[in-house]
């Protein structure tokens, strides 16, 4: 089954990182032991990431690279050439995971057309797996109906203690689709939560580690970003932090439906 592809529990996110900033972030992350890198066409940093990867000396076989197709490239005639351009920038002949970054605004490009194109690039060996991002339940079901849940490796969504998206998560789990959490630290707002801080203090950990450990304990992959080497190392160490069932339940109870990413003209009808 395609969605049995192992997505690393923790990778490096690169949203809003460009130029030397993203080169340094990727370089530091790889030196610290990160092997999963998450980017997107719209981030405008694939070339710099490619440079950092090439300079690192880390074998391609050890890396897990994700990119996302921008809405302008969702058409059947545009997706393949856009991915080839991404691969050239990343200096690789394939990525491990290719996602639809956002659903086509107002359904301008039929989802079946985009998914067919993604299946084609996978058959060509340009990506090992395909998936979706920012898909609510209705569109997630449409994707399942189109190609089968076994073809969808993940749905990458905004998910943090204040926004836990229970409907999307439950639907994905029902169909064996893994959730990837982005914005797991809630633009840093999560770090100021008294409960998160108290749990961190009890474990001698950082609030960021607590939020990331909670997400991973709930089965989500996470892709936090940072420009600071110390924070990159600290985030990576969250894999070793084990929270109690009570602590996990306390964080579960923090859900307020507080969405931070809701771009006008791009966001679908949320659940």
- Any idea which architecture 2-187+220-232 has in CATH? Alpha-Beta Barrel (3.20)
Quote the tokens at residue 142. 């449409």
**How far is Cα 223 from Cα 214, in angstroms, rounded to an integer?**
14
Annotated binding site for substrate: 101
Answer whether 36's CB lies under 8 Å from 13's CB. no
Quote the tokens at residue 65. 């690279």
**How far is Cα 31 from Cα 12, in angstroms, rounded to an integer?**
12
Backbone angles phi, psi at 153, to 5 degrees: -75, -35
Annotated binding site: 101
Is pTM beyond 0.85? Reply is yes
**How far is Cα 149 from Cα 256, in angstroms, rounded to an integer?**
29
For residue 5, the model assigns a pLDDT of 84
For residue 3, the model assigns a pLDDT of 60
Answer whether 118's CB lies under 8 Å from 99's CB. no
Give the tens place of pLDDT for each residue, 144-202: 999 999 999 999 999 999 999 999 999 999 999 999 999 999 999 999 999 999 999 99
Quote the tokens at residue 135. 């898909």
Is residue 252's pLDDT more than 80?
yes
Residues acting as catalytic residues: 43
In whole angstroms, how large is the CA radius of gyration of the chain? 18
């Amino acid at each position: 089954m395609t969605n049995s592809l192992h997505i690393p529990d923790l990778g490096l996110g690169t949203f809003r990182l460009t130029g030397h900033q993203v080169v340094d972030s990727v370089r530091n992350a790889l030196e610290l032991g990160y092997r999963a890198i998450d980017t997107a066409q719209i981030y405008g940093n694939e070339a710099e990431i490619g440079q950092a990867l090439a300079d690192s000396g880390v074998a391609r076989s050890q890396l897990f690279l994700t990119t996302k197709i921008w809405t302008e490239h969702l058409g059947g005639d545009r997706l393949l050439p856009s991915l080839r351009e991404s691969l050239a920038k990343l200096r690789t002949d394939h990525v491990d995971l290719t996602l639809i970054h956002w659903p086509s605004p107002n359904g301008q490009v039929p989802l079946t057309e985009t998914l067919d194109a993604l299946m084609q690039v996978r058959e060509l060996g340009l990506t090992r797996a395909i998936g979706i991002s920012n898909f609510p339940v209705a569109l997630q079901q449409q994707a399942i109906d189109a190609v089968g849940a076994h073809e969808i490796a993940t749905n990458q969504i905004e998910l943090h203690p204040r926004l836990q998206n229970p409907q999307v998560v439950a639907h994905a789990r029902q169909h064996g689709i893994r959730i990837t959490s982005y914005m797991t630290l809630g633009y840093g707002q999560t770090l100021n939560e008294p409960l998160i801080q108290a749990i961190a203090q009890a474990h001698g950990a950082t609030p960021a580690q607590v939020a990331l450990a909670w997400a991973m304990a709930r089965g989500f992959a996470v892709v936090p970003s940072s420009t600071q080497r110390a924070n990159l190392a600290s985030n990576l160490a969250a894999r070793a932090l084990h929270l109690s069932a009570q602590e996990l339940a306390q964080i579960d109870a923090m859900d307020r439906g507080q969405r931070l990413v809701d771009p006008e003209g791009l966001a679908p009808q949320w659940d």
